[in-house]
Amino acid sequence: MQKLGSVPDTVQVAVRIRPLSTQELAGGHHNVIIQPNSAEPRLIARGAEEFTFTEVYGPTVSQAEVYDRSVRDIVLKLLQGFNVSILAYGQTGSGKTYTIGTSFDGRITNQTGILPRALLDIFDAVNAPPEGDGSSASYRVFCSFMELYQEHVYDLLSHRNRYEGLLGIREDIEGVIVPGLTELAVSSAEETFRWLMHGASSRATAPTRMNKESNRSHTIFTVIIRSRRKTTATAEEHMRISKLHFVDLAGSERAKKSRASGVRLRECIQINKGLLALGNVISALASSSGTSPRKSARATFVSYRDSKLTRLLQNSLGGNSITLMLACVSPADYNIEETISTLRYADRALSIRNKPARTPPASMSQSSSMAEVERLSKTVSQLRTENDQLRQRIAAELKPAIEAGLVGGKNGTGRHLAAQNRLLHGQLQSSIEESTRNELRASIAENALGRLEPLVLHELCTDYDDLTSMAPLSGDELRTKCEEILLRYRTEYEALLQRPTAQHRSTLH
């Protein structure tokens, strides 16, 4: 792991200018964004307005260079216990999804975005040999993928259908959380790639006049690291949880330009509404960062609750996260108004001050509840894996029946097929019940984990008064709450075990 270096306390902003498209060149459009010196992060728009950012990448800069210069260092802060957020912001068709890499196809090429590259670096660091500093570390990696479409949150990694994967947002001790969001344990970059592609295939997309593959929703792909470090000298073990969010925002668009109507128009309105709320938050945070203590609280109020998007990004903007905004812009003259708007918002974001801090370590010896959190997390991952195996087994068992049905239709062996069908139906019923039972067990464990983990983290944060403004619970109060949650979990689990299976019901008849 890298040594703890400097951590930026303001939002870092990198502007990326896409090249003019073939259609734009054929239409006679020209470039109105100029970078006078490629070695300086300075832009001139429309020949008059000048902007300076953390980094500026011209149309010829490669994906690898963007990652190496702006992303790699902050991604590796994840393993040091920091939360990290990377946002792609800009108008539709400006290259946000291309830059982030949520449309990854499974092949690492020169066109691969920053997300797959980050996953490769994370797993290289996680699997690296231990350092000779008298301590040993182990890591468990998880991922989640959510979509915000027309102010509704969807779980893109859920095995349920789209509408059963609808989720809510609530606030807890640790901030804004999404209860029930699927978090999958992953052991390699390749496995994470598969889940990334699986989730991206369910994302809401549609062609518009501005972009033939326009994303109609905002997505957040999250990598969670649970690190456990044991000191040889004291034999004390600590655990940290840190998160890396890749936020691919839907592009702003003008209905007149995109000629949206019907469903596309409603999507456009919701997208712009969320981005407007985000712009207001950016402006309020930029103003408050330069506000003197004498100014009223009214002047520095930040309205995160105006949109679900701003609630989800609350920790990334003005929170304890290291944040990078990738502002993607079009250089074409007919997009100048949208480009200027993006650059102005990006310029304001430079003034936002976050409070990056390492997540407080949890002493495994101090809290038996933390061990229970870890056990429940493992249970959830194990049950998800078993469910996938059961589904594959069901598909394999149905295949011979389908093939036999086709042959039987020709040879007239109806009785044999009927008997085989009854046998397979019984096996299928048992498999479905076993899958459902495992899913219920996973759901019970997830619910318990969701209630227990914030309490445990809150207990362990009491030594970090500068990181939390919540009043600490007493030892008895915390113990009582944890025991209530665990008792409820065990009661629900035992009730599930006592449910009769199909085999038991058949013996009763």
- Our measurement of the distance from residue 195's CA atom to the centroid of its chain's CA atoms, rounded to an integer in Å, reads 12
Tokens representing residue 328 in the block = 């993607």
Q: Is 450 annotated as a binding residue?
A: no
Q: Tokens in use for 316?
A: 């990334």
Say if residues 45 and 340 touch (Cβ distance below 8 Å).
Answer: yes
Report yes or no: 223 and 82 within 8 Å, Cβ to Cβ: no
Residue whose tokens read 């801090």: 357
- Tell me: is residue 258 an annotated ligand-binding position: no
Per DSSP bridges, beta strands 83-90 and 214-215 are unpaired
Burial class (CB in 10 A: 0-12, 13-18, 19+), 340: middle
Q: DSSP assignment of 256-291, as one string? A: HHHT--THHHHHHHHHHHHHHHHHHHHHHHHHHHT-
Amino acid (one-letter) located at 318:
G
The separation between the first and the last C-alpha atoms of the chain, rounded to the nearest angstrom, is 62
Closest CA to 384 of 433, 345, 438: 438
91 is in an annotated binding site: yes
Please check if 468 is assigned to a binding site. no
94 is in an annotated binding site: yes
Residue 6, annotated as binding a ligand: no
User: Cα–Cα distance between 360 and 462 in angstroms, integer?
Assistant: 9
Give the Cα-Cα-Cα angle 439, 445, 447 (nearest 5 degrees).
100
28 is annotated as contributing to ligand binding: no
Question: Which residues, at least 6 apart from 7, have a Cβ–Cβ distance to it below 8 Å?
Answer: 77, 82, 322, 356
Work out the burial of residue 48: count CB atoms within 10 Å of its CB; fewer than 13 is exposed, 13-18 middle, 19 or more buried.
Answer: exposed
What DSSP line would sit under 340-395, residue for residue? HHHHHHHHHHTT-B----PPPPEETTT-HHHHHHHHHHHHHHHHHHHHHHHHHHHH
Whether residue 93 is annotated as binding a ligand: the answer is: yes
Task: Count other C-beta atoms under 10 Å from residue 490's C-beta.
Answer: 12
Which segments are annotated as binding site for ATP? 90-97
Which segments are annotated as binding site? 90-97
